[in-house]
Structure 1
């Protein structure tokens, strides 16, 4: 039986989800396949061998990256040398384009087939990146249907696979009766607070989110706030903040369980990112916020070519949910927008209808489609023959 060896690099939690699903689907066809590189807990649970903790790559923002640049470059150089010296059958870079595209370029030049899973946001900024992608990537796996057209100028091989979260959430038994399992049996309103999983996100958003919750609690004293921490380290950081400044707030700090927390909530205050897609698929009213270093924001804001930053608005092509950025991220503004999300029934009904439509465009059995596309590439490159399928 063919024993594939596939190298992968995922840089954050969303990539870990994609990588784990893809590994599962490939292993259905090739149970002896070996996977190695950089990945998180979900990928490791599927037998993936991570040579570096995924947290090492989880950094966002131009200014924030500078302090970590020597370490990141060193990790990438070591991976490049290791994979060229002992070539895998395939390399798959999962998101993290600033890290992965350069690595993919060198590996492709060395004759290793390359896949990039998740289209960089070429529709929002760095549109000329499509030429670098063409040089670096044999196959691009896109999550959203609208993305393929942006690669037409280069003739890039693009396969839209949909989003695995649409499949996961639709079939997740853990989301049934989640309020009961979390001990939320009353009629009080439940608000989820998701200030992000990265250190930089928590630095800028955790305190304003908790301050907004305090304002909401004044007018809604029975309101319950749920805050899921991404890992033990984040849990300890947030717990210290709550103990020092928000001990009078009715907030429950949980470890992981972000999806369950969102499913149990009536509305969500959330950092821009993949979690907003989960909230969309769960059909939850939300207020999206983001804040970063002032210099990083000044650079990014000049580069942006789209009027929206949050996935629900980008996918809908209209402003469905509020987006509060940078200096506008104040407790008062956040609390005011959350009031509408919690209490405006007509608004909630319209959101649910539009979110259902988005769900239908993304629920395409993504893990299987991605595995099919990868295997087709391996056939095309001669790594696999039809008799081995």
Structure 2
């Protein structure tokens, strides 16, 4: 059995790797091929191109990469057109994967999209494209399946594997010991994003905010996990101009350890807000899009939700301050971060709320997703 996969960023790489392991347990004869990162490669993927060639976000930002992205997608469609896999799984990256899924599905290849595109949040008309592209959507959050059902898109809610992987009671002391941090030091986890564009936009205000915090918090330690050498290099360059004097510990590919060690988290909107929630850590969320991208989104009224961070969408009430675009300044970020450091009662309330949200998400995701995929492939084979 051959399965094609394409993932575009570290969070998708981790999701796909877990799914691949789940499938392999049920079908030891399976082979995986396509595009992924380190986790997928370790799980057995024959990777045909570096994953970071696909890692781009935004309406305007993609324009400079568009010829390369179109060429890569065309090459994949031709390669799989000549030798079709038994099934294809597009992992997130809907702007890239949905078109590829459509092309492969037209050739008779069963297609799965893992992670429901955020049509419930913005660009809702994309649901028509999803229906044409895929035989099955694997949704990772409970509110997504209701939306997909209303629009007649076949789906299975499988939960998010991080919910089962992360402990309900994180061990701050062990995380600090592993990072060489003092047990009583104030620790700020600083996560400026997983894409290079995010790090370049967000590292400067995040680092400046951390410097302002350090003026009021003697002995402040900053811990920053980064997924790739490229983002580490970009962050180091930002530190030279904006992080002087800060005591920063860089962590490679261990976001959980960095979050568990922290008292407070300053984080870019994205999957990392879910991880911070699962670690029960109070957070301040900051984000800046390219100004033109943001202007297009606002001008066309494309955003349909009040909050953008997954932590706020999943908890019963929004607990994380979101500072976006012009509000994402060093001063504003520092004020909110310091407010959390100085209010232990509020931190306790947030931790209790995140504990409830975490408990509600725990499922055997990799096994559920693997069985849904294999069930689809079996149906298609016998029709």
TM range (shorter): over 0.9
Q: Give structure 2 stretches of 5+ with no counterpart.
A: none
Partner of 2:291: 294
CA–CA distance in structure 2, aligned partners of residues 174 and 7 of structure 1: 38
SS at match of 1:253: strand
Note the C-alpha offset of 1:244: 4.2
- Which residue is equivalent to 1:16? 13
Show structure 1 runs of 4+ deviating over 4 A: 171-176
Q: Which runs of 5+ in 1 are unaligned?
A: 385-389
Q: 1:172 to 1:92 in 2, by over 3 A?
A: farther
- Between 1:124-133 and 1:258-267, the stretch displaced more is 124-133
Alpha carbons 2:8, 2:55 under 8 Å: kept: yes
Query: What's the CA shift for 1:258?
Result: 1.9
TM-score w.r.t. the length of structure 1 is 0.94
2:35 counterpart of 1:53:
no
Q: Deviations over 1:276-315 (max 9, x none)?
A: 1000011000000100211101122331000010001112
What count of residue pairs does the alignment treat as equivalent? 381
Distance of 2:243 and 2:358 partners within structure 1: 36
Q: How does 1:1-389 map onto structure 2 within 5 Å?
A: 4-170=1-167, 177-301=174-298, 302-316=301-315, 318-382=317-381
Give the drift of 1:380: 1.0
Q: Which residue of 2 aligns with 1:387?
A: none
User: Aligned equivalents of 1:31 and 1:174: distance in 2?
Assistant: 36
Secondary structure of 1:98's aligned partner = helix
Q: CA deviation at 1:174?
A: 9.2
Instruction: Output one character per residue of 1:93-131: Cα deviation in whole Å (capped at 9) or x when no partner.
Output: 000000000111111111000000000111111212222
8 A Cα contact 1:125 1:304, kept in partner: yes
| DSSP 3-state at the match of 2:206 | helix
- Cα distance in 1 for partners of 2:208, 2:173 equals 31
Instruction: Give the superposition deviation at 1:231.
Output: 1.6
Worse-superposed segment, 274-283 or 23-32: 23-32
Does the C-alpha gap of structure 1 residues 70 and 81 become closer, same or farther in structure 2, counting only changes over 3 Å? Answer: same
Displacement of 1:241 in angstroms is 2.7
What is the RMSD computed on CA atoms of the aligned residues?
1.8
Q: What is the alpha-carbon distance in structure 2 between the residues aligned to residue 345 and residue 192 of structure 1? A: 17
Change in CA separation of 1:175 and 1:90 when aligned onto 2, cut-off 3 Å: farther
User: Aligned partners of 2:341, 2:169: CA distance in 1, in Å?
Assistant: 25
Distance 1:173 1:38 in 2: 33
Asked if structure 1 preserves the Cα contact closer than 8 Å seen for 2:89 and 2:112, the reply is yes
Structure 1's 34 and 174: CA in aligned 2 closer, same or farther, altered over 3 A?
Answer: farther
Per the TM alignment, residue 342 of structure 1 is displaced from its structure 2 partner at its CA by 1.8
SS at match of 2:245: coil
Change (3 A) 1:220 1:277: same
